Amino acid sequence: MTLRVRSFPEVLLSVENISLAFGGVKALTDISFDIRKGEIRAIIGPNGAGKSSMLNCINGFYHPQQGSITYKGVRRSQMKPHEAAEQGIARTFQNIALFKGMSTLDNIMTGRNLRMKTGLLWQALHLGPARREEIEHRREVERIIDFLDIQHIRKTPVGRLPYGLQKRVELGRALAAGPELLLLDEPMAGMNIEEKQDMCRFVLDVNDEFGTTICLIEHDMGVVMDISDRVVVLDYGKKIGDGVPDEIKKNEAVISAYLGVSH
């Protein structure tokens, strides 16, 4: 049941014939799809289908052996993770990758690190440009903290926070970078229904208010079908379906991948 029918003419990122293998294990085989500007794109598939590997290719963490990725009209072969970050790709992780010893505030401030430019000397003095920059970014970060409703845990070390809040802080850190493309790896894994609802609301709001393009991996079919504009389905490293949720629901190959077929 897709309530929102929206159209997205402009392609932000396109993946062409990507193949990735680890030794003899083929994680991805000849995958092509695109992510359009402003949409919420979901990648689904059974365990081990290659979804996370796909995200890792997009943000430069893995280097596929074949194929190419075109982002904002620029085709690239190899790219380092921090270069992807510099070009506006941010992500969260399946198993939370926060900086456990730092407070919520510091974690989200780290997300803005690419935009902070003052030199070591000014920072050591904590005067002039360094101080102004720190305050200016603090203001932005406080907006994100308000948005995610985590004011009360601002100064708490994230290692002490419960799982659901950690996921939210991680989303905040990714948002702090002000990304154009946000990759979310199972943002709702392990959450109860209320936490899932909250997280869905955040994802939709980010997409609506900031106009951020979102590519997410999710296992909860209800969530995927409700919030995503288009869905890619992977199975054993191959693409078996691509389209709007209603099409995906009727796709034979997808149904058999998820439910199994009788031979």
Partner 1 sequence: MFYREAGQFKISYSADMAIFPIAQDRIAVLAIVAAAFLLMPFVATEYFLNSIMVPTLILALAAVGLNILVGYCGQVSLGSGAFMAIGAYAAYNFAIRVPELPLLVSILLGGVVSAMVGVFFGIPSLRIKGFYLAVATLAAQFFFDWLFLRAGWFTNYTPSGSVNAPRLDVFGWTVNTPVERYIFVLGLVCVFTLLAKNLVRGHVGRQWMAIRDMDIAAEIIGIRPMYAKLSAFAVSSFFVGVAGALWAFVHLGSWEPLAFSIDRSFQLLFAIIIGGLGSILGCFLGAAFMWILPIFLDIALPPLGELVGWTMDKATVSHFSVMIFGALIIFFLIVEPHGLARLWSIVKEKLRLWPFPY
The answer to whether residue 99 forms part of the interface with partner 1 (CB under 8 A) is yes
**Contact between 82 and partner 1 (CB under 8 A)?**
yes
Give the contact letters, 160-199, x = binds to partner 1 (CB under 8 A), - = no: -------------xx--x----------------------
DSSP 8-state secondary structure symbol assigned to residue 59:
T
Tell me the C-alpha distance between 114 and 215, whole Å. 22
Q: Could you tell me the smallest distance in angstroms from the CB atom of residue 221 to partner 1?
A: 28
- Strand pairing category for 25-36 and 11-22: antiparallel
Rounded Cα distance, 259 and 12, in Å = 33
- The C-alpha atoms of residue 215 and residue 228 are separated, in whole angstroms, by 9
Q: Which position among 14, 94, 123, 251 is part of the footprint of partner 1 (CB under 8 A)?
A: 123
Question: Of the ranges 68-76, 112-120, 218-226, 238-246, which one interacts with partner 1 (CB under 8 A)?
Answer: 112-120
In the complex, minimum distance from the CB of residue 200 to partner 1, in angstroms, rounded to a whole number: 24
- Dihedral pair phi/psi, residue 44, rounded to 5°: -125, 170
Is residue 109 near partner 1 by the rule CB under 8 A?
yes
Q: Which residue has the tokens 């955040």?
A: 202
CA 52, CA 151: separation in Å to the nearest integer? 31
**Which span (28-36, 134-142, 213-221, 251-259) binds partner 1, by CB under 8 A?**
134-142
Q: Which of 59, 104, 212, 213 contacts partner 1 by CB under 8 A? A: 59
